[in-house]
Chain A
Amino acid sequence: MTEKKKSKKKRVLIEFKDVCKKYDQGDNVFYALKDANLTINEGEMVVILGPSGAGKSTLLNLLGGMDSASSGHIWFDGADLTTFSDNQLTAYRAKNVGVVFQFYNLIPTLTAYENVALMKDIKDDTTDPKEALAAVGLAEHMHQFPSQMSGGEQQRTSIARAVAKNPKLLLCDEPTGALDTDTGREVIKLLQEMSREKKRTVVMVTHNSFFADIADTVIRVKNGAIQSIVHNDAPSDASEISW
């Protein structure tokens, strides 16, 4: 682990201390993540890079309170997630985390509008679904069902759903994985805006190293271990990159 440059003074949102996630498989123990240490500052755009099976999804799941660590500590805003009960984790997800999935994971029997409006069921201070959808450029397609929309539109709906909750942390799991280059760039641009303009902490998992350029911080993961954490003082604009 090397830290090339010191970042500007910012508030720490997340801290990992010796976090392990292991699975018992009969006689041998498999480590999906081993002794991970990292900090993520508020408002940062973080990209977690690594090949498949490296442990990046595990990292994301732990960040989002969707899975629990086997050992170590994870602090979010000063609270230790590893001490949370199931219900506390659920409340944490509902209040603080927005997730954008690779395959969008919209509810197929609800329209774009309804998918976003669903968030009202779990949190009080949500953005109006219409506004959230307009912000991702979907004002026109609000009443379509997921099956009637293109992949990019679905992913934008998914982003609208994630940000409608006004979460402190926006987690994106290969958000462009199922999209073509142009559509993917649009989505990345949207995520970057969320970070730069709305000052949200965005953590994106990808195996695509081109995305390293747009991040404030790049965390590289391999074989369940963090290889490097690099801070980028002058990230590129999403529109500039191509792959």
Chain B
Amino acid sequence: MLIRKMWRDLLKNKTQFISIFLMSMLGMGVFVGIDSESSGGAAAAEAYYKQYNLSDIWIQGAGFTDEDVRTAGKVTGVKNVEKRLALTGTSVDYDNAYMYINFMNSNEINKLMLYEGDPYDEEEQGVWLEEWFARNNRISVGDTFSIKIDSIQIDAVVRGIIDAPDYVYYVSEEDMMYPNYNKCGLAFMSSEMYPDPSNIIYNQLIIDVRDDMSDDDTIDTIKERLEKAFDREDIAVTDRDQNLSYATFDAEVRQHKAMGLIFAVIFLAIALLGIVTTMARVTASQRTIIGTMKALGFSKARITFHYVSYGFVISALGCITGGWVGYMTLPPWILGMFVGSYLIPDLKGSITALDVTATVTAIIISTLVSFLSCRKELKDPPAVTLKPPAPKKVRHSAFEKSRLWLMLDFSTQWNIRDVFRNKLRSLMGIMGVVGCSMLLVCGFGCFDSVNGLVDKLYGELMTAKNKIVLSKDADYDYAYDLCSDYKGQMIQETSVEFVSDKVKKSGSATIVDKGNYIHIQDKDLNPVMLNRSGIAMTSKMAGLLDLKEGDFVKWHVVGDDKWQYTRIVQIYRDPSVQGITMRRQVFEDLEYDFSPTSILTNISVPGDLVDKDEVSSVLNIANMKAAFNETMEIMNSMVYVMVVAAVLLGMVVLYNLGVLSFVEKTREVATLKVLGFKSSKIRNILQKQNIWLTVIGICFGLYSGWGMLYIICTTVSDTLDMFPIITLPTYIYSIGGTFLVSITVNFMFSGKVKTIDMVDALKGVE
């Protein structure tokens, strides 16, 4: 019978319980949804890496021979070594697509996953192409595919359509960070296909470590041993964390996990507050019933169990439904958007032990909280509980005794007292508003920050309209002439490796010639001149290396064994490329030859320039900007989730609060009506309190929204230095949106003032 009582009581207080249900559902839904999405994504990647044997260590350098393969193979902990020549080029047809090309003479590590055609065989002539690229460009097995590497052209028959575990993510120069696999492909060929196979110079060793590593053998120790074994200054030994493909996906997954956790904590905290206020109210209103049950002979444990079961049932229903719905909807949706960004097969969500633990924990905490909030009514003997409660002790605060208090009008006084006498309820209202405005600020702030990043990249740091990318065939004289023709600026972009006391990091070096298209900004984003002597380092890279302005950094150009030890004379910020920038003079003083890799210009470039052997591609900044924005799909959808969640959160919490306070205030409001207050006047009184709480909530919300955005921006990845930007419109929209939600909900309730029947409301209790 008590179970029936519970269901009917739940039904009677449905607004409150539905809001608790919704909050716990949303909280668990988002958490389980995003966690199962990210865990599932990670698991799919892990399975893929395992099955196709992703390399554990990479060694970049020049001129690796079979002797080097043997040297590496002898190192303790190494299981297998292969050598590769990794190059970039373009396709002859298909809009001069950017191609990553690998020549290899075996394929035990980073094995190709076959979709169609023949499995990779180093004895076979032909080329194996990436699946997405091939499919979208309608390339089939048997077609002839031509690749241009600098001035060399290779024509090969397509033997297979594949994917590769070391290329789940890659971008062409044009795409910056968001991949476009239609215009950027992968090609794998046997070393025999290289134009001069006997003189092939491998530039990469890929290493598979033993599966049964002892405790002493970590990836780091094996890396150290490899460095010692080679004892060459011109190589870079890196692991998976420094591998663009691996690290990008890993960072994406981790970022999702963090966001899911933030969401869940907010929603569950609010669900808990809801349980506290609702259970306290339900048990308070059932005081006599509790007394009766005691008098009838129900034990305290029995009654406690009965009331605790309310919180348990609702939170259990909410959490389990939420978890299930979250699992069913979010992984397919978000992982669906990964298609096109990450080339990983079988992406699907998976429930982890953490999801189950989190759900159970949330239910236990909710149950515990409902136990704590109904305990009060249960401690007295039935003779006491049967009687109505003693009136709340009303104490005057110091403020109420001050002279200022007397100057306030009645409605202000009434509201101040009401807020302080119902602290928990007020707190819950503020929390709801905080959550709502925080998510709005953070959501819109994400848009702002991405826009800010694009504007900064292509509007402030690089101001040219076109970028002519030169091929290896272009010598200095050619570049110089072209540059003069287009009144441009020559720059050289090259990969470098930095070493500090403990860490080794790969980055990029930009060497700029005379001109006015490259700008840098200091830590506080103020434009500064690039120093005439010494090198400037990005603050993100400096942070990773634990270096500051004035320190010396050890670095070398990848492929060159000459190490430099140079003072950092400037720290600057760059959102997308981490490394160093220096003037041509500085570079040449270090005894390097300046060999430009691209020319920046504001003069429009004819389309046929790209046909020249010396020109690899021409990038139009406006197109790059547009392409960048288009590929922000995942980010955008996260923002939508946040905005929808914000509005839902605000609505549910404030509606619940409205019901709570309205029920509690009914008698007071009826009294005011009897005394002759007009309904509209009473509405204003009620609205006033709501506005106060909303204003307080928004103040905290804007601040915590900025904090949340900051966390999201700074944890994006190693290479991306995003600045949290919140523009004025974002503040306006967020404040306006929060107010709209708050006032709309309150209006729904204050409208009920009219409907209160004075006589009925003032009648005795039962």
Residues of A that sit less than 8 Å from B by CB = 57-58, 61, 64, 66-68, 86-87, 90-95, 97, 99, 101, 103, 105, 107-110, 114, 117-123, 161, 165
Contacts and interface: CB of A to CB of B under 8 A. Distances in A.
A107 B294 CA distance: 13
Contacts of B463: none
A94 B297 CA distance: 4
Interface of B: 1-2, 4-5, 8-9, 12, 288-289, 291-300, 302, 381-384, 386, 766
B299 A105 contact: no
Contacts of A94: 296-299
Q: Which of B1, B2, B5, B9 has the largest count of A CB atoms less than 10 A from its CB? A: B1
Contacts of B766: 103
A107 B299 CA distance: 17
B288 A90 contact: no
A43 B479 CA distance: 118
A74 to B, nearest CB: 14
Given A64-B295, A66-B382, A90-B298, A105 B289 contact: yes
B667 to A, nearest CB: 19
Contact of A87 (B1, B289, B299): B299
A109 to B, nearest CB: 4
If over half of B's interface residues share one DSSP class (helix, strand or loop), that class is named, otherwise mixed; here it is helix
A86 B576 CA distance: 71
Given A87-B299, A94-B297, A107-B292, A61 B4 contact: no
**A-B complex: 8 closest residue pairs judged by Cβ atoms:** A94-B297, A109-B8, A67-B383, A93-B297, A105-B292, A61-B383, A66-B382, A118-B1
Nearest to B291: A105
Nearest to A89: B381
A105 B125 CA distance: 92
A66 B386 contact: yes
A57 B293 CA distance: 18
B8 A93 contact: no
B296 A122 contact: yes
B381 A68 contact: yes
A165 to B, nearest CB: 8
Contacts of A105: 288-289, 291-292, 295, 386
A94 B8 CA distance: 24
A122 B383 CA distance: 19
Nearest to A61: B383
Contacts of B383: 57-58, 61, 66-67
7 contacts: A61-B382, A90-B299, A105-B289, A109-B12, A110-B1, A118-B2, A120-B1
A99 B296 contact: yes
Nearest to A162: B296
Given A99-B296, A119-B296, A67 B381 contact: yes
B297 A123 contact: yes
A182 B633 CA distance: 77
Contact of B289 (A92, A107, A119): A107
Contacts of B288: 105
Contact of B295 (A93, A107, A109): A93
A173 to B, nearest CB: 9
A111 to B, nearest CB: 9
Contacts of B297: 90-95, 97, 122-123, 165
Contact of B8 (A64, A110, A123): A110
A86 B1 contact: no
Contacts of A99: 295-296
A94 B28 CA distance: 41
A110 B296 contact: no
Contacts of B386: 66, 101, 105
A98 B374 CA distance: 26
A57 B382 CA distance: 12
Contacts of A123: 297
B1 A114 contact: yes
Contact of B1 (A57, A64, A121): A121
Contacts of B294: 66, 90, 93
Contact of A101 (B292, B298, B381, B384): B292
A64 B386 CA distance: 13
A108 B2 CA distance: 12
B381 A110 contact: no
B292 A90 contact: no
A30 B431 CA distance: 46
Contacts of B302: 121-122
A114 B5 CA distance: 9
Contacts of B289: 105, 107-108
A93 B302 CA distance: 14
A200 to B, nearest CB: 16
Contact of B9 (A64, A109, A120): A109
A123 B297 CA distance: 9
Given A107-B293, A109-B4, A122-B297, 14 more contacts: A58-B383, A66-B294, A66-B383, A66-B386, A93-B382, A101-B292, A103-B766, A105-B288, A108-B289, A109-B8, A109-B12, A110-B4, A114-B5, A122-B298
Contacts of B293: 107
A239 B766 CA distance: 29
Nearest to A146: B766
A165 B297 CA distance: 10
A64 B383 CA distance: 9
Q: Which of B288, B294, B383 has the largest count of A CB atoms less than 10 A from its CB? A: B383
Contact of A121 (B2, B12, B292, B300): B2
A172 B12 CA distance: 30
Given A67-B382, A103-B766, A117 B298 contact: no
Contacts of A93: 294-297, 382
A233 to B, nearest CB: 33
A86 B300 contact: yes
Nearest to B1: A118
A57 B8 CA distance: 32
